[in-house]
Amino acid sequence: MFEALSDKITGVLDKLKRKGALSESDIDAAMREVRLALLEADVNYKVVKRFVERLSAKALGADIMKSLTPGQQVVKLVREELIGVLGGQKVDLDLSQRPTLIMLVGLQGAGKTTLAGKLGLHLRQKKQRKPLLVAADVQRPAAIEQLKQLGASLELSVFSVEDGKTAPIKIVKRSLEQAQRGAHDVVIVDTAGRLQLDETLMDELVAMKEACSPSEVLFVADAMTGQEAVNIARAFHEKLALSGIVLTKMDGDARGGAALSMVEVTGLPIKFMSVGEKPNELEAYYPDRLAERILGMGDVLGLIEQAESLIDHEAAEALEHKIRKHKFTLQDFLDQMQQMRKLGPLGKLLEKMPGMNKVQIDEKELSRVEAIIRSMTRKERAQPGLLNASRKKRVAKGSGTQVSDVNRVLKRFKDAQKLMKQLGKMKGMPGALPR
């Protein structure tokens, strides 16, 4: 989402880093470019004004101007100011009550129902909680069925009342009783939305909050709607005294200004970001990590956490053993590709690696490689030397590719095999994943 903004800001900062000394005019020119980049990214103009004023004052300070590395010092200042605008520090959910009641509120289409499932999965995997999803949206057709299907696919319990008569407040109260019986320690309520702000909707949500005393009231904001999402969040906050915000559709192609404006305009912390359509693509919100990604510095800690939660540690240890014994095969090559792809599109992974945010990855080429290896027999994967001309033709036909493509994959494998042999010879080689 922040690709254009990241390119422009890093471009401005790269110019400053190339200069041995900075003049006041250099700083002024850079601040103009930063201001324009933020405005083009749809950041609230008042937020931009305050951001640039603070940054300019610090950048023109004597310590920066006299520094031996003034460009690097400005980069450090931009990082610090961005972190401040994005919220300063991570704010966790309040899970102290048992059961913890979490209300998800927002307009229709923001992604509340999908988020209920993602949040439930996150709390089960990361916090070892036992969530209960509650279908309290009785307005939108098929909302209840959508949540039930989502719950079934994620193995999460769902509470619903489908008589067409029970009011949402009663549904939530009954869900709390069900949570007690089923030993659920978190209750996540999917509430109704509207296409626009509506007094009837607000009155219903206010009454629900007063009757059920939730620990968290999270506003679900569609990041694709830009500044309008900020205005809507503020309106919800005035009525409901929200506890936080969740940004959805952060993987979209919008300019991203909503995320950069949300905290400063509303005064509310952002607690999560939905970064893709898959159930596991919900990330805790870290202002420092997001700022560093915008500045092209990556998010290595986020990448490690993602890997630890998704990659099979037993398979990783088995691979390490094979590398040590020089038994790395095409099957292992295929298995490792599949493990990496569990983490999501490789382009997204590279965004989290310092200096790699602009590298382009051809996902179709990876799919071709996978198809080629899958078209081989198990014996051929274990002994690639068996692949003579006729076998290569068969593999190419089976994978819908050319013999030249098969040869290219075999060359890549040999290169990987050589690298693995070198790794296997290293004493004290660490495990494939951090423990």
Domain with residue 409: its CATH number is: 1.10.260.30
Task: Examine residue 317 and state whether it is found in any structural domain, yes or no.
Answer: yes
Beta strand 270-274 with 186-190 is unpaired
Task: Examine residue 274 and state whether it is found in any structural domain, yes or no.
Answer: yes
Looking at the fold, whether 14 and 57 belong to one and the same domain comes out as yes
Looking at the fold, whether 212 and 352 belong to one and the same domain comes out as no
Looking at the fold, whether 221 and 370 belong to one and the same domain comes out as no
Q: What is the pLDDT of residues 291-307, one digit of tens each?
A: 887 877 644 455 445 55
- 66 neighbors 60 (Cβ within 8 angstroms): no
Q: Kindly tell me if the per-residue pLDDT of 353 is higher than 60.
A: no
Looking at the fold, whether 37 and 152 belong to one and the same domain comes out as no
Task: Examine residue 93 and state whether it is found in any structural domain, yes or no.
Answer: no
Burial class from Cβ neighbours inside 10 Å (0-12, 13-18, 19+) for residue 6 reads buried
Looking at the fold, whether 321 and 173 belong to one and the same domain comes out as no
Q: What is the 3-state secondary structure (H, E, C) of 1-54?
A: CCHHHHHHHHHHHHHHHCCCCCCHHHHHHHHHHHHHHHHHCCCCHHHHHHHHHH
Confidence of residue 109 (pLDDT cuts 50, 70, 90): confident
| Closest by CA position to 101, among listed 170, 189, 166 | 189
Q: What is the pLDDT of residues 19-51, one digit of tens each?
A: 777 778 888 888 888 888 888 888 888 888 988
Of 29, 51, 85, the one marking the end of a domain is 85
Task: Examine residue 162 and state whether it is found in any structural domain, yes or no.
Answer: yes
Q: Kindly tell me if the per-residue pLDDT of 428 is higher than 50.
A: no
Task: Examine residue 431 and state whether it is found in any structural domain, yes or no.
Answer: no
Alpha-carbon distance of 48 to 261, in angstroms, equals: 9
Q: Kindly tell me if the per-residue pLDDT of 242 is higher than 80.
A: yes
Looking at the fold, whether 127 and 239 belong to one and the same domain comes out as yes
Q: What's the average model confidence in pLDDT over 394-408?
A: 92
Q: Kindly tell me if the per-residue pLDDT of 431 is higher than 50.
A: no
| Closest by CA position to 384, among listed 410, 364, 360 | 410
pLDDT: which is higher, 322 or 359: 322
- Identify the CATH number of the domain in which residue 73 sits: 1.20.120.140
249 sits in the region (left: phi over 0; alpha: psi -120 to 50; else beta) called left
Q: What is the pLDDT of residue 42?
A: 82
- 169 neighbors 208 (Cβ within 8 angstroms): yes
* Domain, as residue range, for 335: 308-425
pLDDT: which is higher, 162 or 353: 162
The SS3 assignment for 253 reads coil
Q: Who's near 414: CB < 8 A, 6+ residues apart?
A: none
Looking at the fold, whether 266 and 331 belong to one and the same domain comes out as no
Q: Kindly tell me if the per-residue pLDDT of 320 is higher than 90.
A: no
| Closest by CA position to 8, among listed 26, 35, 28, 27 | 35
The H or E element containing residue 190 is strand 186-190
Work out the percent of the chain whose per-residue pLDDT is above 70: 79
Task: Examine residue 13 and state whether it is found in any structural domain, yes or no.
Answer: yes
pLDDT: which is higher, 361 or 241: 241
Looking at the fold, whether 119 and 69 belong to one and the same domain comes out as no
Tokens linked to 344: 């999501």
Looking at the fold, whether 20 and 134 belong to one and the same domain comes out as no
Looking at the fold, whether 181 and 322 belong to one and the same domain comes out as no
Using CA atoms of 210, 198, 279, 119 in order, give the dihedral in degrees to the nearest 10: -20
Q: Which of 18-22, 130-134, 219-223, 324-328 has the highest mean pLDDT?
A: 130-134
Looking at the fold, whether 71 and 170 belong to one and the same domain comes out as no
DSSP 127-143: H---EEEEE---SSTTH
Tokens linked to 225: 């709607």
Of 231, 263, 294, the one marking the end of a domain is 294
Q: What's 268's DSSP letter? A: P
Looking at the fold, whether 243 and 276 belong to one and the same domain comes out as yes
Task: Examine residue 430 and state whether it is found in any structural domain, yes or no.
Answer: no
Domain count across the chain: 3
- Identify the CATH number of the domain in which residue 168 sits: 3.40.50.300
Alpha-carbon distance of 109 to 13, in angstroms, equals: 38
Alpha-carbon distance of 359 to 371, in angstroms, equals: 24
Q: Mean of the per-residue pLDDT values for the chain?
A: 80
Alpha-carbon distance of 148 to 154, in angstroms, equals: 10
Of 40, 61, 85, the one marking the end of a domain is 85
Sign of the dihedral through C-alpha 181, 166, 105, 113: positive
Q: What is the pLDDT of residues 170-191, one digit of tens each?
A: 999 999 999 988 889 999 999 9
Task: Examine residue 301 and state whether it is found in any structural domain, yes or no.
Answer: no
